[in-house]
A = this chain, B = another copy of it.
Amino acid sequence: MAATLHDVAREAGVSIKTVSNVVNDRRHVAAATRSRVLEAVTRLGYRPNLTARTLRNGRSNVIGLAVPELTLAYFAQLADDVMREAEERGLVVMIEQTRGGDRGREIELLQSPRRQLTDGLLFSPLGMSQDDAALVNIDSPIVLLGERIFDAGPDHVTMQNTEAAEAATRHLIERGRRRIAVLGVHPWETLGSAALRYEGYRRALEVAGLPFEQELVIDIEYWHRRNGAGALHDFLDRGVPFDGLFAMNDELALGALRAMQERGVRVPDDVAVIGFDNIEEAQYSSPSLTSVEPGRAEIARIAIDVLLERIEGVTVAPRELRSQFSIIERESSGTSGLWGSPGRLS
């Protein structure tokens, strides 16, 4: 059995209060007493029971992070960023997967008794939508990530989707591309990353005075590589001429690269490609993938800061915060460079 405060107190010949004071590094402990206690602590191998401490303090120093899927590189990297930031603040992260946009699972998760194990939740919904906004107003502190739900009550940290998508499309236009296809559109939604990025795409065309062509719009529900590859095969079958491709995320873009390679379409010579998210693989694909760096690490940092404020009980009006983005240019939108060195960040 693990040693408790009582055991240590008995061993050191003091009260548990004193042991508690020593363990928690409080003042008002005589040096002699302190060392006697510490000795007992090591002798017994005492380690504080975090569950008891949590029950007593009403605070666990564990925060939850709910993402659609860890096997999507973007979310694995987000999780990594969040864990790094959390660690610096002495927090532990408990990750939960909502499994690719299952609205029911998301709602269940919000209401799960497991919320009680954490002091607060960073929640990245995918299946829930603006209609469900009321449901995210749970008792415990919560910060929303992503673009599914706006103005719902909780703080919200996200990226500049529309602006970044506009910049991405402009990037292709500036390189002389005129017929730019867009991959991953969700025509059924008006919010969400897809809708916002699509908006940016259209805005860039408009600003450049380029016509919008419906035949260049490729709908895809799930933004996985396989869907990108499949959809692009179908698109190529249709024979619609195009010289640029804006993929709504890097997974789609990588799938598209693969499909084009299979079909003998040269990138960037025939088609210049840009993705979104700047996942690590974008550097190592062939050709390396130009992408939008959305400021993921910044999102993680801000989100945790905001969540911690709420946990501490700060009561300001809900905030909507956005990270900075940038375009990382690589081979897929620039020089052919099959002989160049692997893409670097910047």
- Which residues does A use to contact B, with CB under 8 Å? 2, 47-52, 54-55, 60, 62, 69-71, 73, 76-77, 79-80, 83, 92-97, 113-114, 116-117, 139, 225-226, 229-230, 254-255, 257-259, 261-264, 280-281, 283-286, 338-340, 342
Contacts and interface: CB of A to CB of B under 8 A. Distances in A.
Nearest to A139: B2
Contacts of A50: 113-114, 116-117
A57 B122 CA distance: 28
Contacts of A259: 342
Contact of A284 (B54, B55, B92, B225): B225
Contacts of A285: 258
Contacts of A52: 55
A51 B77 CA distance: 30
Q: Which of A60, A97, A262 has the most CB of B within 10 A?
A: A262
Contacts of A97: 80, 83
Contact of A71 (B80, B255, B284, B339): B80
Contact of A116 (B47, B76, B257, B262): B47
A117 B339 CA distance: 52
Given A55-B52, A116-B49, A225-B284, A92 B94 contact: yes
B229 A342 contact: yes
A300 to B, nearest CB: 13
21 contacts: A2-B116, A47-B113, A47-B116, A48-B116, A50-B113, A55-B55, A62-B94, A62-B117, A70-B79, A70-B80, A71-B77, A73-B76, A76-B76, A92-B117, A225-B281, A226-B283, A226-B284, A255-B284, A262-B338, A262-B340, A281-B281
